[in-house]
Amino acid sequence: MKLISVSDYLKNNDYPGRGIVIGKSKCGRYAVTAYFIMGRSENSRNRIFVEDGEGIRTKAFDESKLVDPSLIIYSPVRVLKNNLIITNGDQTDTIYTMMNQKFTFEQSLRTRSFEPDSPNFTPRISGLLKFIDADFTYFLSILKSADGNSESCERFTYSYLAPLNGVGHIIHTYKCDGNPIPSFEGEPKRIEINEDIDNFTDTLWNSLNEDNKVSLFVRYVDLLTHEVKTKIVNKNK
C-alpha cells in the first residue's frame, strides 16, 4: 500500500480537528509522535501548549477570555516509565493512573467514552508508545459515537507491534468540517515519516489550515540513546 503524503492529506482537509501521529523515522533511529489541535470558536482558539515535566498541557492564552475549560484544558502528553501517552483529552490522566495500577491501555479506555459535546460527540483519540530496549511498539485508539447516536459508543484499538522505517499513522477527531461535525472514519492513515524533527514540524504546521490551527507538539525519541527532542509551535504568541 502506497504511503500518503501527510502534507497533501492535511492540506485537503480544512478541519480534521485534533490529531495524533505516531511512527518511526525513515532511518529507523527515532520514534516519532505529534499532536495538533485546531479550533473554530474563540474559546478553542484561545489556547497554547506549554511543557509540563516530561509532557505538555494546554493553557489559555488569554485567561480573561476562557469560558469553559472542561474539554479544552488538559494534559495531552504524559510519560509513565517506558510509556509515552498522548491523547486529545483528560483520558491521558485515566490511562496514566490505570496503567500505573497494572491495567492495560485498552482496559483503561473502556472506562471512558466520546466527549459529551452534543451534537458533535467528539471522539476521544489516544495513542501509546511503549519503549522496549532499542525499539518500540505503538497503539492508537478512537472512541466515537455510532453515527452521532449518544446511546452507543464504538471502540477501536490499533496495534503496531513491529513499526516500519519511514512509516507512521495519523488519526484525528473529525472526518471534515460540518454541522454537526462528522467523526473520523476508517483506520488510521499510513503516512510518510522523515528523520528530521525541524522539517517534519514545519511540514505538519504549514499543512494545517491557517485559520483553524492552534498548536502543534512534535517529539523525536532516539531509540539508541533515549535522547528526547521536542518542538512546540503555538499560533498565539
d(CA 205, CA 7): 9
CA–CA gap between residue 196 and residue 10 (Å, rounded) = 19
Q: Is residue 214 part of a domain?
A: yes
Which residue segment(s) compose the domain that 122 sits in? 6-234
Place 234 in a pLDDT band, splitting at 50, 70 and 90.
very high
Given a cut of 90, is residue 219 above it in pLDDT? yes
Residue 183 lies in a domain: yes
Q: What is the pLDDT of residues 43-59, one digit of tens each?
A: 999 999 999 999 999 99
Helix H, strand E, coil C: the string for the chain is CCCECHHHHHHCCCCCCCEEEEEECCCCCEEEEEEEEECCCHHHHCEEEEEECCEEEEEECCHHHCCCCCCCCCCCEEEECCEEEEECCCHHHHHHHHHHCCCCHHHHHCCCCCCCCCCCCCCEEEEEEEEECCEEEEEEEEEEEECCEEEEEEEEEEEECCCCECEEEEEECECCCCCCCCECCCCCEEEECCCCHHHHHHHHHHHCCCCCEEEEEEEEEECCCCCEEEEEEECCC
pLDDT value of position 155:
98
Report if residue 195 sits inside a domain.
Answer: yes
pLDDT at res. 62? 97
In-domain check, residue 91: yes
Instruction: For residue 141, list its beta bridge partners.
Output: 126, 157
Please compute the mean of the pLDDT values over residues 131-156 and round it to a whole number. Answer: 97
Total structural domains in the chain?
1
Per the structure block, which three cell numbers stand in for 4? 500518503
* Residue 95 is assigned to a structural domain of this protein: yes
CATH of the domain at 103: 3.60.20.20
Rounded to 5 degrees, φ, ψ at 121 are 45, 60
User: So what's the pLDDT on residue 2?
Assistant: 84
**Mean per-residue pLDDT, 106-111:** 98
Residue 209 has pLDDT above 90, yes or no: yes
The pLDDT of residue 118 is above 80 = yes
Instruction: Determine the straight-line distance between the first and last CA of the chain, rounded to whole angstroms.
Output: 40
Summarize the confidence of residues 211-216 as an average pLDDT: 98
- Residue 171 domain-assigned (yes or no): yes
> Quick check: 89 pLDDT over 90?
yes
- Taking the CA atoms of residue 89, residue 92, residue 94 and residue 100 in that order, the dihedral angle to the nearest 10 degrees is 180
Residue 1 in this model has a pLDDT that exceeds 90: no
Would residue 1 count as lying in a domain? no
C-beta separation of 88 from 77 below 8 A:
no
Specify the pLDDT at position 53. 97
pTM for this structure?
Answer: 0.98
